[in-house]
Chain A
Amino acid sequence: MRAVIADDSVLLREGITRLLAEGGIEVVAGVGDAEALLVAVEAHEPDLAIVDVRMPPRHREEGLRAAIEIRRRWPKVALLVLSQFVEERYASELLAAETSGVGYLLKDRVADVAEFLDVVERVAAGGSAIDSEVVRQILARTHRTDPLARLSPRETEVLALMAEGHSNGSIADRLFVSSGAVEKHVSNIFMKLDLPPDDKRHQRRVMAVVRYLNS
């Protein structure tokens, strides 16, 4: 797998490069700003772009804009957006069009090597990954609004893990329940969120997550 990294901190760029090498991912370019990122993606057509939100020259949200631009021009490139702070608003914007092959994580997460590599793999394979911090923000905002209010606490927990891009098996491991129980929760979630059963499983999953993010 080939990746491009955009982060204005050389220290972090090198750190992530080492980290990805650990997971057998080749970093074909490391750049320090959004313009260079677009050039690099055009030149290398990588499988994955890892993008920092705040980059020169204004240090505001250049990375986010670049990520949306990449999604528009090169939809096959998976995106993993990293940020010092995560905001549900940015997550909603990033995931507005499509949630497959998109991740939005706190930068801190790189410290958990194995989990971070797991997320990279998942996003590159077309999955999605939303930071649990973002999920927490969305949950706090949608406390008493339907239809998410109809979910039981356990179902909410399961949906939060789905939003983070976990498979049913992975959710079962995390919640220490059987995968049969998780499947039951998931189908309850689909039902309570009025997601029609004729959709493909993956599609409904993404829909549930989007519903969750846009509420």
Chain B
Amino acid sequence: MGDDPEPRELPLRVASFGPRRRDAPRPAVTAFRWLLHSFSAKRTWTASANLVVNLVVGAGFALATALALLVTLATAWVVGVGTMVRGGALFLSAHMSRFDRRRVERLGGVRIAAPSSPEPGAGASLRERQVAWGRATWLWPLSAYQLARLPAAGAAAFVAVGWWWATIACFVVASQPSGPVQIVGWDVGPMSLGAAGVAGLVVTGVAGVLAWPALVRMAMKLDAALAMHLLGPSRSGQLAAEVSRLSEARALAVTSAEAERRRIERDLHDGLQPQLVSLALDLGLAKARIETDPGAARAMVERAHEEAKQAARDLRKLVRGIHPSVLDERGIDAALSALIASCPVPVSVALDLPRRPEATREAAAYFVVAEAITNVTRHAGARRASVTIAERSGALHVAVVDDGRGGARQDPGGGLAGLAARVASLDGTFSLSSPVGGPTRIEAVIPCEP
């Protein structure tokens, strides 16, 4: 079930026990705050609720799983039916497990990634689906969880009930130090306790109440650990996911390099080549006429001169567009000067880089800005644009915003798509927001550290 947006495990949320400043006024006050906080913390109550939910749901799910497994075993020998039934059973436990993953996340604050889905294509028949599910061996731990969880939830509930029973008993007995005492079905009989005994019971009872948050949180942690173990992706599953992510990144890198080569080829073919041919043509004509019509020849030479200069300008622009050498030598700040000078609208630049990023990442950031500025120049109809580049929490954040008419799209094979691929090949993210009417915002986040 790939419906979890972030297949990533978050660490257990550590409960924060009130303010822990060093200049805390008095230990007693601190302890009181600590207690108050541990009782008022939402986690304590969600964890308490989990005890109940887990028991009820666990009983139902365990029953369903046990039945499904029995039917699976019973039909295992029937050719054709066995696989389908097994698929159905595993499908069922997959869905129950999804519920449990959500339960652990909502009540325990622990996010568990789902193992990747074996879903066949959208057009597959029910039978094909069931066969695919039946072959998915990674589903077995999910069934194991559904069976193992009931005893665990039961034990936790038993301890919790016993805890409260004992705690209440302490107070009840202490309130009636002499005389017959009956506590929830247990006839204690006549007792006679001294003052020390009463005090001891009261202290034990208070301690029982106070320790409740810690106890219930521990139960939640154990529950989450079990779920993490059996409901999360296996080690090999995680590695497989990593491998597919890396091959995708590599394919993107190749694609973006390929697109870049095509763009250069197109620029040379459409721009420079005809310019040089036209230049040679004009010079050829001038040569032919230089004796018969020196005036016309002179005009042609003049035109050829202009054409040659234009070709040199265009070639310079093209070469700098491929990779400005100043980027390697002096970094992105220096390289941006020529870029923003080429933009007809005013561009403000804000850089916050404590150090120079690694070369490939710096270049990717530069080209994000370059492409964005090209778009501003060509399409945006903007009055101003701004570029911000900052390094924050181990990533380069690049944003280019213009106040133009918006409506920019990421066409396949276009410059923006190439950029998105380039950024993605570095494990980064690229986003374009350009509603019709503007503003257009191009953003890239490129991680700097492994």
Cβ B337 vs Cβ A141 within 8 A: yes
B285 within 8 Å of A (CB atoms): no
A60 proximity list for chain B (CB < 8 A): 325, 328-329
Interface centre among A54, A85, A87, A143 (most CB of B within 10 A): A87
B271 CB, nearest partner CB in chain A, Å: 16
Pick 7 A–B contacts, CB within 8 A, sort by A.
A84-B319, A89-B330, A106-B316, A138-B337, A140-B346, A141-B349, A144-B346
Q: Which residues of A contact B (CB under 8 A)?
A: 54, 60-61, 84-90, 106, 108, 111-112, 133, 136-141, 143-144
Cβ A87 vs Cβ B330 within 8 A: yes
A53 CB, nearest partner CB in chain B, Å: 9
A138 proximity list for chain B (CB < 8 A): 337
Cβ A136 vs Cβ B325 within 8 A: no
Cβ A140 vs Cβ B340 within 8 A: yes
B343 within 8 Å of A (CB atoms): yes
Nearest-CB residue, chain B, relative to A93: B330
B347 proximity list for chain A (CB < 8 A): 140, 143
Within 8 A of A (CB), among B300-358: 305, 308-309, 312-313, 316, 319-320, 324-326, 328-330, 334-335, 337-338, 340-341, 343, 346-349
Cβ B341 vs Cβ A137 within 8 A: yes
Cβ A54 vs Cβ B325 within 8 A: yes
Cβ A136 vs Cβ B341 within 8 A: yes
Cβ B309 vs Cβ A111 within 8 A: yes
Q: A89 with B312: in contact, given A140-B343, A141-B349, A144-B346 (CB under 8 Å)?
A: no
Q: A85 with B316: in contact, given A60-B329, A61-B329 (CB under 8 Å)?
A: yes
Cβ B308 vs Cβ A111 within 8 A: yes
Q: Which residues of B contact A (CB under 8 A)?
A: 305, 308-309, 312-313, 316, 319-320, 324-326, 328-330, 334-335, 337-338, 340-341, 343, 346-349
SS of B interface (majority): helix
Question: How far, in whole Å, are A143 and B343 apart by their CA atoms in the complex?
Answer: 12
Nearest-CB residue, chain A, relative to B330: A89
Question: How far, in whole Å, are A108 and B313 apart by their CA atoms in the complex?
Answer: 7
Cβ B334 vs Cβ A87 within 8 A: yes
Total A-B Cβ pairs within 8 A: 65
B1 CB, nearest partner CB in chain A, Å: 52
Supply 4 further A-B pairs (C-beta < 8 A) apart from A54-B325, A143-B347.
A61-B325, A108-B313, A111-B309, A133-B341
Cβ A89 vs Cβ B326 within 8 A: yes
Cβ A141 vs Cβ B340 within 8 A: yes
Cβ A137 vs Cβ B337 within 8 A: yes
B330 proximity list for chain A (CB < 8 A): 87, 89-90
B336 CB, nearest partner CB in chain A, Å: 8
A143 proximity list for chain B (CB < 8 A): 346-348
Cβ A88 vs Cβ B337 within 8 A: yes
B346 proximity list for chain A (CB < 8 A): 140, 143-144
A144 proximity list for chain B (CB < 8 A): 346, 348
- Checking A61, A86, A108, A141 against B309 with a beta-carbon cut-off of 8 angstroms, the contacting residue is A108
Question: How far, in whole Å, are A133 and B342 apart by their CA atoms in the complex?
Answer: 10
Interface centre among B312, B329, B341, B349 (most CB of A within 10 A): B341
A133 CB, nearest partner CB in chain B, Å: 8
Q: A111 with B337: in contact, given A61-B329, A89-B330 (CB under 8 Å)?
A: no
A106 proximity list for chain B (CB < 8 A): 316
Interface centre among B316, B346, B348 (most CB of A within 10 A): B316
Nearest-CB residue, chain A, relative to B313: A108
B328 proximity list for chain A (CB < 8 A): 60
A160 CB, nearest partner CB in chain B, Å: 12
Nearest-CB residue, chain B, relative to A108: B312
Question: How far, in whole Å, are A106 and B315 apart by their CA atoms in the complex?
Answer: 13
Cβ B316 vs Cβ A84 within 8 A: yes
B308 proximity list for chain A (CB < 8 A): 111
Cβ A89 vs Cβ B309 within 8 A: no
Nearest-CB residue, chain B, relative to A143: B346
Question: How far, in whole Å, are A136 and B337 apart by their CA atoms in the complex?
Answer: 9
A66 CB, nearest partner CB in chain B, Å: 15
Question: How far, in whole Å, are A136 and B343 apart by their CA atoms in the complex?
Answer: 11
- Checking A89, A111, A133 against B334 with a beta-carbon cut-off of 8 angstroms, the contacting residue is A89
Question: How far, in whole Å, are A96 and B196 apart by their CA atoms in the complex?
Answer: 89
Cβ B337 vs Cβ A87 within 8 A: yes
Question: How far, in whole Å, are A28 and B316 apart by their CA atoms in the complex?
Answer: 30
Cβ A87 vs Cβ B305 within 8 A: no
- Checking B305, B325, B348 against A85 with a beta-carbon cut-off of 8 angstroms, the contacting residue is B325
Nearest-CB residue, chain B, relative to A54: B325
Question: How far, in whole Å, are A68 and B308 apart by their CA atoms in the complex?
Answer: 32
Cβ A89 vs Cβ B325 within 8 A: no
Question: How far, in whole Å, are A140 and B320 apart by their CA atoms in the complex?
Answer: 18
Question: How far, in whole Å, are A111 and B312 apart by their CA atoms in the complex?
Answer: 10
Question: How far, in whole Å, are A84 and B324 apart by their CA atoms in the complex?
Answer: 11
B319 proximity list for chain A (CB < 8 A): 84-85
Cβ A87 vs Cβ B349 within 8 A: no
A62 CB, nearest partner CB in chain B, Å: 11
Interface centre among A89, A111, A112, A139 (most CB of B within 10 A): A89
Question: How far, in whole Å, are A138 and B316 apart by their CA atoms in the complex?
Answer: 19
A86 proximity list for chain B (CB < 8 A): 338
B337 proximity list for chain A (CB < 8 A): 87-89, 137-138, 140-141
A156 CB, nearest partner CB in chain B, Å: 13
A141 proximity list for chain B (CB < 8 A): 337, 340-341, 349
Question: How far, in whole Å, are A141 and B348 apart by their CA atoms in the complex?
Answer: 8
